[in-house]
């Protein structure tokens, strides 16, 4: 299992309940939720990957379960991981997904490959 399918079901259920149109893409060894052709939120193993407003980065890192996202040896500002203890309750997961959804309209989309 490359990613937690139960966590994926919880994220998908929330997005569907909110009537948010999304596309699931398998990437980075996990699952990514694309909204308006932009990476919004994802799952790597049993951890939530949140794309958040970089202006709130330091503040959100203080929340339970939050830690720097570090794939390359240095933190990626605007992206954080939330460990399972920070998203155990549905209200906590919803908080993080809402943070991602709030930033999504401001996020830049990646360049499309031709």
Among residues 38, 74, 42, 68, the alpha carbon closest in space to that of 54 is found at 68
Give CA–CA dist 49/3, Å, rounded: 11
Is residue 94 situated within a structural domain?
Answer: yes
Determine the 3-state secondary structure of 46 from DSSP: coil
Q: Is residue 30 domain-resident? A: yes
Is residue 112 in a domain? no
CA gap 66, 87 in Å, rounded: 10
Q: For residue 5, what are its two tokens?
A: 């399918």
Q: Decide if 111 is inside a domain.
A: no
Please indicate, yes or no, if residue 56 is contained in any of the structural domains: yes
What's the number of domains the chain is made of? 1
Is residue 72 a part of any domain in this protein?
yes
pLDDT tens digits, the chain, 114 residues: what are they?
Answer: 589 999 999 999 999 999 999 999 998 789 999 999 999 999 999 999 999 999 999 999 999 999 999 877 888 889 999 999 999 999 999 999 999 999 999 998 876 655
CB 47 within 8 A of CB 67: no
- N- to C-terminal Cα separation, the chain: 31
Q: Quick check: is 114 in a domain? A: no
Which CATH number fits the domain that encloses residue 58? 3.90.1150.30
Domain presence at residue 76: yes
Strands (E), the chain: 23-27, 30-35, 38-44, 47-51, 66-68, 79-82
Domain, as residue range, for 52: 5-105
């Amino acid at each position: 299992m490359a990613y937690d399918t139960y966590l994926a079901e919880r994220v998908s259920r929330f997005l569907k309940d909110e009537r948010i149109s999304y596309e699931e893409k398998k990437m980075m060894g996990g699952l990514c939720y694309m909204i308006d052709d932009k990476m919004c939120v994802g799952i790597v193993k049993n951890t939530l990957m949140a794309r958040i407003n970089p202006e709130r980065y330091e503040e959100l890192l203080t929340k339970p379960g939050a830690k720097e996202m570090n794939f390359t040896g240095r933190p990626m500002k605007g992206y954080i991981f939330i460990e399972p203890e920070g998203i155990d309750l549905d209200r906590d997961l919803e908080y993080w997904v809402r943070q991602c959804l709030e930033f999504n309209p401001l996020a830049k989309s990646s360049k499309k490959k031709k």
